[in-house]
Amino acid sequence: MAERGLFDGVFARGGADTGDQAWLTAMLQTEAALARALERAGLAPPGAGAAVTEAARAGAFDAAELGRQAALTGNPVPALVRALARCVPAYAAAAVHKGATSQDIIDTAAMLLARRALAAAAADMAAAADATAALAARHRDTVMIGRTLLQQAVPVTFGLVAAGWLTGLDEARAGLDRVRAGRLAVQFGGAAGTLASLGADGPRVAALLAGELGLPLPALPWHTDRLRIVEVAASCVGAAAVLGKIARDVTLLAQSEVAEVREGEPGVAEVREGGPGVAEVREGDEPGAGARRGGSSAMPHKRNPVAAIAILGCTRQVPGLLATLTAAAEQEHQRAAGAWHSEWEPFSGLLRLTGSAASWGAELLAGLTADPARMRANVDAAGGFPLAERVSGLLAPAVGAVAAHDLVAEASAVATAAGQPLRTALLGDPDLRGRLDAAGVTPAQVEAALDPASYLGAAGEFVDAALAAHRAGAG
């Protein structure tokens, strides 16, 4: 098992393994598949493909040593090819790397890594979407305050909030699936994209290689056409954007002063904020033993929204990686000098961080709990001011839109100055009450207009539409 890094618990969750061993495995899979393709094309002796495949086991190669030797050639493939050739019988050695260039191996390995990483991220996004659909259905009519520009707005429902998360998750997952299904491709072009060393057999070997790896065969090699890399990255950025939006909402709704949602307790080790003490973790300990999710090393009362925070820690890094990959897409002539090399680490990081964020997202949403009573209390604590728009609409037919707006604005100012709810000012101030009476507006109508549950517009229909779209997409 690969050594786990200090920050991997946050940034390397899920199934997007893009570490050294994963890259090495993917490169060796490509070399083995090429040997089998050459044998099938009659360009390698019988048994050569099986011999190379048997030798191409990542555990038999030292990734660190290959990395050191990469300093001699600018990439690790030449050292890997030499090491692999030494591990096969003499008759099979000529089948190792025949017709290929280093970029063929690394680009194809990148496609294999992306295929696995995108599938894992999409699965976690689907799980997150299913959990969110349950939240949206359960809280279809749960009233909460809407917030625009971080200020209280008109009432909404938590079901509508969850439905917005749901459509984002579904669309982002579809984007991952679309790229995985249609934009990955084998890379096999030889020195300058002509496969000249294989003569007339080049295109046939390329097709056989694609078949061996289960990757699509492109119309021609894409050494300096990096649109596939950019599209993989863009699909990851879309997923990260959706997950980041959800996580940010959760951190805001989970604030002590708001307390409308809270994360679940999955039973994993405590994440500490800082301080002098470090808990000892022993091999074999149960995850979370003696620890509480969201705890603080300094403040025992804290319950931090760790999953949401971890998602944001991942997603904040993703846009910069996309920018690097986009800048690297400008590549000269038939093979790039440096731009291609600059892709490897950001591409790995982007897949890893997106996969980790998706894994955290599935956990977050599966355990997220809403507090309808707190949501209603926060609505009521707003004093009716978020319903001012509706009261203006009630008055407008009688006195005109401008006069209605001015009257409600005056009532709001009176109520604010006195520390009263809007209802008290409208019905208790003699002048304002008289103007309402003159407009033919009764106290019962004012009371009805200030009921947040009756001013939700099409929220319920929108939730139903999001759920129907989710069911259709899942089907």
The tokens for 298 are 């300094």
Tell me phi and psi for residue 297, to 5 degrees: -70, -20
Helix locations, 183-201, DSSP H: none
Separation of first and last alpha carbons in the chain: 37
SS3 254: coil
SS3 148: strand
d(CA 165, CA 170): 9
Q: Which residues are catalytic?
A: 296, 335
CA distances in angstroms from 151 to 145, 208, 257, 379, 422, listed in the order given: 10, 60, 14, 13, 17
Q: Are 142 and 375 a contacting pair, CB within 8 Å?
A: yes
Among 108, 110, 106, 126, which residue's Cα sits nearest to residue 16?
Answer: 110
Superfamily of domain 20-244+305-373: Fumarase/aspartase (Central domain) (1.20.200.10)
- CA 105 distance to own-chain centroid: 28
d(CA 442, CA 449): 11
Q: Are 365 and 246 a contacting pair, CB within 8 Å?
A: yes
> In a structure prediction context, what are the per-residue pLDDT tens digits for the chain, which is 475 residues long?
455 789 999 999 988 899 999 999 999 999 999 999 999 999 999 999 999 999 999 899 999 999 999 999 999 999 999 999 999 999 999 999 999 999 999 999 999 999 999 999 999 999 999 999 999 999 999 999 999 999 999 999 999 999 999 999 999 999 999 999 999 999 999 999 999 999 999 999 999 999 999 999 999 999 999 999 999 999 999 999 999 999 999 999 999 999 999 999 764 433 333 333 333 333 343 344 445 566 545 554 567 999 999 999 999 999 999 999 999 999 999 999 999 999 999 999 999 999 999 999 999 999 999 999 999 999 999 999 999 999 999 999 999 999 999 999 999 999 999 999 999 999 999 999 999 999 999 999 999 999 999 999 999 999 999 999 999 998 6
Q: Where are the domains of the chain?
A: 20-244+305-373, 385-449
Among 167, 146, 168, 133, which residue's Cα sits nearest to residue 366?
Answer: 133
Single-letter residue type at 92: A
d(CA 366, CA 162): 12
Single-letter residue type at 227: L
d(CA 111, CA 127): 24
Q: Are 432 and 414 a contacting pair, CB within 8 Å?
A: yes
SS3 193: coil
